[in-house]
Amino acid sequence: MAEEFAPSSAPGAIRFAIIGCGAIAVNHATALQALPGVTVDAVVDTDATRAREFAARFGIPRACDDVDAALASGLDAVTVCTPHPAHEAGVVAAARHGLHVLCEKPVATTTDEADRMIAAADAAGVRFGVVFQRRFWPAAARIRAAIDSGALGAPIAGSCIVRLRRDAEYYSEPWRGRRETEGGGVLMTQAMHHIDLLQWFMGEAVSVTGRIATLRHGDHIDVEDTAVATVEFASGALAVVQAGSTFDPGLGAQVLVSDAAGRSASVLEFPEGTGITDVWTLDGGREFAAPYSAGGVFDIPLADIHRGLIAAHSLQIADFVSAVRDGRDPLVTGRDARRALEIVTAIYRSSETGVAVRLTGARSGATA
């Protein structure tokens, strides 16, 4: 089913559809409609009413509840904003129609799903990107640039600490906190972003040992709210991961790396949706931030977190549009996103088996 709201897009524009009309789709629509030479021509959602309301809100011409019908209507690209387990279906459908596709994180809930998505995009010859918008924070990009330039040596130690507050009201959404609809808990839904930054800084992960538990929210979720892990990298470097949705107030998330000379740099997300440099001890200067204070702002509403991320979303979506125009890969590809997913799923597997999990990395062509 489709419903028309406005004329079709301008000639020569890159024409997008958005699949999934939940909260994060607002960031996609806002970013896409702000780009010159880009139009959003259709939105798709299994809830036809929600699709119509979203289309009307953003002045989008077509609202559909049938993915194939929408994607067969002369588009160029798609963004996928559906629940995690539906990412594979959206990406594969886009590839089947020859459309470039940008998917929200996590790329999938299993590495097998991610491999099928990568293979489908490769076979179709389309660009496949995944949203890890925190890479586009200046504080995060600064660390990567320092590693690339040698100002910060190859990291030998790292940490990823995620200490967030989620409560019963947050989990009252029926899809939240459910393995069937999210694929996991704090690791899959929140800490995935920061694990991605950790591996972006540290390099290829080769082994993971971890434990997960549900220690606070067991009355209303069936996934983990607490996790710890150690990660070994191909370079020999080591890192620790701690993630929890049990903190009150939430203390944000920090990703820190240190090199063999003892120089350290970190990016802190506090409050949520905002990334800053909180530790910088490279040659030529030291910087430290003190983000917490008794009268400070903690635990801002989720809608405000999403609004705070619009700028970073916009940078990544602009990069994806440029990649489509230039015939190059986007800065964060499906293969890149698979690396963070494999670390998370290895923590789950290690917790279940009680042993370290070796990572496959290159399976099904999922290498850089």
Write down the mean pLDDT value for the chain. Answer: 93
Q: Domain 134-297+334-358: which topology?
A: Dihydrodipicolinate Reductase; domain 2 (3.30.360)
Question: Where in the chain is CATH 3.40.50.720?
Answer: 2-133
Amino acid at 355: V
* Burial per residue of 41-54, b for 16 or more beta-carbon CB atoms within 10 angstroms, e otherwise: bbbbbeebebbbeb
Ramachandran region, residue 184 (left: φ > 0; alpha: ψ -120 to 50; beta: rest): left
Tokens linked to 195: 């694990």
Phi, psi of 311 (to 5 degrees): -60, -45
Q: How many CA atoms lie within 13 Å of 186's alpha carbon, on the beta-carbon side?
A: 30
| CA 93/CA 20 separation, integer angstroms | 13
Predicted local confidence at residue 3, as pLDDT: 38
Residue at token pair 């959404």:
173
What is residue 13's predicted lDDT score, i.e. its pLDDT?
87
Q: Which residues make up the CATH 3.30.360.10 domain(s) of the chain?
A: 134-297+334-358
The pLDDT value recorded for residue 108 is 97
Bond into 249 cis (ω within 30): yes
- The pLDDT score that the predictor gives to residue 1 is 39
Cα distance between residue 97 and residue 177, in whole Å = 33
User: What is the per-residue burial (b if ≥16 Cβ within 10 Å, else e) of 228-247?
Assistant: bbebbbeeebbbebebbbbb
Identify whether the C-beta of residue 334 lies closer than 8 Å to the C-beta of residue 80.
no
Q: What's the DSSP call for residue 364?
A: G
Instruction: Please name the residues in contact with 330: beta carbons below 8 A apart, sequence gap of 6 or more.
Output: 102, 127, 128, 129, 316, 319, 320, 323
pLDDT tens digits for 67-109?
999 999 899 999 999 999 999 999 999 999 999 999 999 999 9
| pLDDT score recorded for residue 117 | 98
Cβ distance 243 to 221 under 8 Å?
no
Of the two residues 357 and 73, the one the predictor is more confident about is 357
Looking at residue 285, its pLDDT comes to 86
- Residue 43 β-bridge partners: 18, 63
Nearest Cα residue to 142 out of 275, 24, 16: 275
The pLDDT tens digits of the residues spanning 295-324 come to 899 999 988 998 899 999 999 999 999 999
Could you give the angle at the alpha carbon of 261 between the alpha carbons of 143 and 156, nearest 5°? 65
Name the residue with higher pLDDT: 2 or 72. Answer: 72
Do residues 59 and 4 make contact, with C-beta atoms less than 8 angstroms apart?
no
Percent of the chain with pLDDT over 70: 95
Second CATH level (architecture) for the domain 2-133: 3-Layer(aba) Sandwich (3.40)
> 């990412």: which residue's tokens?
87
- Residue of higher predicted confidence among 228 and 12: 228
Q: What is the pLDDT of residue 87?
A: 97
How many whole angstroms separate alpha carbon 292 and alpha carbon 278? Answer: 11
- For the segment 109-145, what is each residue's pLDDT rounded down to a tens digit? 999 999 999 999 999 999 999 999 999 999 999 999 9
Backbone angles phi, psi at 162, to 5 degrees: -125, 110
* Residue-by-residue DSSP string for 67-86: HHHHHTSS-SEEEE-S-GGG
Q: What residues form DSSP beta bridges with 254?
A: 161, 268
pLDDT surpassing 90 at residue 284: no
Condensed to tens digits (0 to 9), the pLDDT of residues 215-259 reads 999 999 999 999 999 999 999 999 999 999 999 999 999 999 999
